[in-house]
Amino acid sequence: MRVLGIETSCDETGVAVFERQRGVLAQTLHTQVDLHAVYGGVVPELASRDHIRLLPALIRQTLREAGLEVADLDAIAYTAGPGLAGALLVGASVAEAMALAAGLPAVAVHHLEGHLLSPLLSDAPPAFPFIALLVSGGHTQLMRVADVGDYELLGETLDDAAGEAFDKTAKVLGLSYPGGPQLAALAAHGEAGRFRLPRPMLHSGDLNFSFSGLKTAVLNVVSSPDWRSEYRTDLAADFQQAVVEVLTAKAVAALERERMGALVVAGGVGANRTLRARLDAAVVRLGARVHYPAPELCTDNGVMIAFAGAQRLMRGERPPADPAVRVRPRWPLAELVRPA
């Protein structure tokens, strides 16, 4: 089985071909970071237009690199949500139109399912069931994953997502968009401990998160009369430490509560080295294991969409025969069902 995957939910245009036997045959990715950087965040209309501009060429290039024609494919998978409505519509329209023209099934994939299944592509994949910590620019969730399509939401952020908190705090520290990786780089030169930042909801007794107060706390520090710009690295380190501590504590609590031996970390913030080191240490103490996607699969890409689509088809999902273009900008992951 060979599946073309198309990702256009936000500011990355990703295309890939996944084959059941041989794995990833080809992949292309274009990031719009430079396009949006001058505005300090993603501009939805510009994102849609850029997906339109590049998607057909990226599909041609990916097929060429895989040595395939459209007729060699068994299905086309695309991100149907959650994400920016206009951006999602570009991928959905192209995928549905291609599928209709070639007589192939089109599979609507949930973006977060793509993220959380991507560690299954590694050499030592986790076995079901496991706990997933999804930490991206738009989501912070702990899920109990019993199987493909069997997800139970255990806890989530009540306000900002972890990545969003990184990006907003980076802005406060004068870094450009997307600030998460830059803030992490700044923190590597600093030392945590100079500033006393809150650990929001650390002792809330549930598995929910809150990060907006942390950004405000950082803003208060830089607005105080004692603030000096040479403290930037230390403040970055303290912010990162606070986020990492809360994420780690809740992930460990989820593993203990659900009696699970494996934690899967997915989404852009999963690339954060301090988070990885903290999680590894804490989870080992429980006798459990942490699984990460390959670094290039942590941020948005077409591979995870092709892979998730293939998993669903292999488990018997039969996409609807009518070629309708439908997207779900808001789409709770726990609404998904097992393929049948």
DSSP per-residue letters across 205-253: SSS-B--HHHHHHHHHHHHSTT--GGGHHHHHHHHHHHHHHHHHHHHHH
Quick check: 88 and 81 in contact, CB under 8 A?
yes
**Count of chain residues binding Zn ion (CB under 5 A):** 2
Under rule CB under 5 A, which residues in 167-206 are in contact with Zn ion? none
Question: What 3-state class would DSSP assign to 214?
Answer: helix
| For ligand KG4, the closer CB: 94 or 162 | 162
Question: Closest approach of Cβ 73 to ligand KG4, in Å?
Answer: 25
With CB under 5 A as the contact rule, the residue among 136, 141, 233, 240 that binds Zn ion is 136
Judged by CB under 6 A, does residue 167 bind ligand KG4? Answer: yes
With CB under 6 A as the contact rule, the residue among 136, 141, 157, 248 that binds ligand KG4 is 136
Q: Which stretch binds ligand KG4 (CB under 6 A): 95-103, 150-158, 178-186, 246-254?
A: 178-186
Q: How far is CA 301 from CA 33, 63, 99, 114, 196, in A?
A: 14, 16, 20, 9, 37
Look at strands 262-266 and 23-31 and give their pairing: unpaired
With CB under 6 A as the contact rule, the residue among 267, 293, 302, 319 that binds ligand KG4 is 267
Q: Which stretch binds Zn ion (CB under 5 A): 50-58, 128-136, 148-156, 241-249?
A: 128-136
| For ligand KG4, the closer CB: 272 or 311 | 272
Give, rounded to a whole angstrom, the gap between the first and last alpha carbons of the chain. 17
Identify which of 229, 46, 259 has the alpha carbon closest to the alpha carbon of residue 144.
259
What residues contact residue 284 under an 8 Å CB cut-off, 6+ apart?
none
Judged by CB under 6 A, does residue 86 bind ligand KG4? Answer: no
Tokens 């255990």 belong to 154
With CB under 6 A as the contact rule, the residue among 271, 290, 297, 303 that binds ligand KG4 is 271
| For ligand KG4, the closer CB: 5 or 137 | 137
What residues contact residue 46 under an 8 Å CB cut-off, 6+ apart?
32, 35, 36, 39
Quick check: 28 and 65 in contact, CB under 8 A?
yes
Partners of 24 in beta bridges: 18
Judged by CB under 5 A, does residue 300 bind Zn ion? Answer: yes
Question: Closest approach of Cβ 259 to ligand KG4, in Å?
Answer: 28
Question: Closest approach of Cβ 80 to ligand KG4, in Å?
Answer: 14
With CB under 6 A as the contact rule, the residue among 86, 105, 149, 180 that binds ligand KG4 is 180
Quick check: 77 and 4 in contact, CB under 8 A?
yes
166: partner contacted, choices Zn ion, ligand KG4, none (Cβ within 5-8 A by kind): ligand KG4
Q: Which stretch binds ligand KG4 (CB under 6 A): 67-75, 116-124, 132-140, 322-330?
A: 132-140
Question: Closest approach of Cβ 53 to ligand KG4, in Å?
Answer: 20
Q: Which stretch binds ligand KG4 (CB under 6 A): 18-26, 45-53, 173-181, 193-201?
A: 173-181
Quick check: 123 and 105 in contact, CB under 8 A?
no
Question: What does the block give as tokens for 72?
Answer: 């060699």
157: partner contacted, choices Zn ion, ligand KG4, none (Cβ within 5-8 A by kind): none
Sheet holding 23-31, edge to edge: 23-31, 12-19, 2-7, 75-81, 106-110
**Count of chain residues binding ligand KG4 (CB under 6 A):** 18
Quick check: 280 and 289 in contact, CB under 8 A?
no
Under rule CB under 6 A, which residues in 294-313 are in contact with ligand KG4? 299-300
What residues contact residue 269 under an 8 Å CB cut-off, 6+ apart?
135, 136, 162, 163, 166, 180, 247, 275
Q: Which residues bind ligand KG4 (CB under 6 A)?
A: 10, 136-138, 163, 166-167, 178, 180-181, 184, 267-269, 271-272, 299-300
Q: Which residues bind Zn ion (CB under 5 A)?
A: 136, 300
